[in-house]
Amino acid sequence: MTTSLTTSTTTLPTTLAAADPDENATYAAALDRSAVLDALIDERASGSDVDDTGDGARFRMLTGDRPTGPLHIGHYLASLRNRVRLQDKGVETFVVIADYQVITDRDSVGEMGANVQGLVLDYLAAGLDPARTTIFTHSAVPALNQLMLPFLSLVTDAELRRNPTVKDELALSDGRPLSGLLLTYPVHQAADILFCHSRIVPVGRDQLPHLEQTRAIARRFNQRYAAGHSVFAEPEALLSEVPLLLGTDGTKMSKSKGNVINLRDTADETAAQIRAARTDSDRRITFDPKGRPAVANLLTIAGLFLGAAPESVAERVRDGGAQALKRVVTDAVNEALAGHRARRADLARDPAYLTSVLHEGNARANEVAERTLATVRAVMGMSY
C-alpha cells in the first residue's frame, strides 16, 4: 500500500513522452525546481549564503519509512544514500518511522518492535547521525497527529479519493471497506511534513501528488485560518534520479513478494537471491530495458552500486551470459554493502543505544510539534 516519502524510486526523464501531457509538464517543472534546490544545497554546503528566506527552513527535510519489514537495496539506492548525502551537506533532517501508517491497510501491527529496531539499525549503519538527524516515531509525537484535525477540514472527500495511493487501494480492495485511516493517509502525510516546517521532501515521481496535497493544505490553512499570513510554507520536491528497479523475479520490488535483497542479508543470502533472479536465454549481455527488462534490471543494480553506467557493465560481461552477469551483480552488491552490514552487526549488539536514539529523537520531534501546534491553536483562536 502506502509508500513512504522516499522509498519510492522514479523513472528517468526519458519516460516523459509516454505519460499524460499535463503530468509531463508538472513533472518537468518539478525536475527543474529540484535541480535548483540541489544547487542551493550544494552552495550552502560550500559556505555560500544562499538562503533567501532568512529563516533556514528552506533546508530542513522530512522523509521516512513504514516499519513493515526489513529495508532492501531499493530503499538503500533510492533513499538511504541520498539522506546521508543531504545530511552531510548540512540539511537538517527529520526521519519519521511511520508506525501508525502500518495499520492503514493491515489488520495487525505485526512485528512492530523488531521492525522499528531494524529501521534504526539500517539508518545508523548507512551513516545517519542522531546528532544531526532526528529519528522519531509517529506514535510518540501526539502533537503531530493532532494537526490532522484542522488539516482534515481543508480537504474534501473527493480530493482524498482522487489520491493515487487511495485510488490504487480502492481498485485492489475487491469490495473491502476502505478504512478511515487509509482514506485520510494523505492528510497524515501532510502533518508529517508540515509539523516540522520541512521545506524539502525527497520523493519519486509517483509521490508528487502527495506533495501537491500537502502544498494545498499549507496554502489553505494560511488563507482560511491565518488571514493570509504564512504559518506554513509550501514544501518543495527534491526528486530522485534513481531509475525504477524491479525485484529479482522481474516484477515490482516488494517486501511482501520476497523478491528483494534485504540490507540485513548475509553475503551468501544475497548471492543465492541473485542466482535465482530472472534473466533470459540470450548469452550476449546487452542493456535493453524494453526488450530485456530483467537483464537490464540486474545491469542497473550493478551499475548503481559500482557507480558505472549499466551499458559499461554489459560491456564488461559481454558473452559471459547470465551466470557471469549474476557474479558481477553479486560482487558489486556484497562489496558495496560490506561496511554497512559490519556496522549494522556492531550496532545490533547494543540495543540500549538504539533505544536511546529513538528516545532522543522522539523528544526533539515532540518539542518541534508542540511549538507548531501551539502556533496553530493561537492562529485559530484556541489558546484557552
**Per-residue pLDDT tens digits for 194-229:** 999 999 999 888 788 889 999 999 999 999 999 999
**What distance in Å separates the CA atoms of residue 374 and residue 120, rounded to the nearest whole number?**
29
Indicate if the pLDDT at residue 7 is higher than 50: no
Give me the pLDDT at residue 296, please: 96
DSSP E strands: which ranges in 217-373? 236-239
CATH code of the region 13-244+351-379: 3.40.50.620
Give me the pLDDT at residue 46, please: 66
Judged on CB neighbours under 10 Å (0-12, 13-18, 19+), 54 is exposed
pLDDT tier at 98, thresholds 50, 70, 90: very high
Give me the pLDDT at residue 170, please: 77
**What distance in Å separates the CA atoms of residue 313 and residue 170, rounded to the nearest whole number?**
41
Residues 6+ apart with CB under 8 A from 116: 67, 97, 99, 137, 358
Written as nine digits, the cell of 205 is 515521481
Written as nine digits, the cell of 229 is 499570513
**Pairwise pLDDT comparison (306 vs 1), residue with the higher score:** 306
Indicate if the pLDDT at residue 108 is higher than 90: no
Domain boundaries, given as residue ranges, for the chain: 13-244+351-379, 255-348
Give me the pLDDT at residue 9, please: 36
Give me the pLDDT at residue 47, please: 62
**Domain 255-348 belongs to what architecture?**
Orthogonal Bundle (1.10)
Residues 6+ apart with CB under 8 A from 378: none
Average pLDDT over residues 77-95: 94
Give me the pLDDT at residue 5, please: 52
If one counts every other C-beta atom within 10 angstroms of the C-beta of residue 369, the result is: 21
- Taking the model in full, what pTM does it have? 0.89
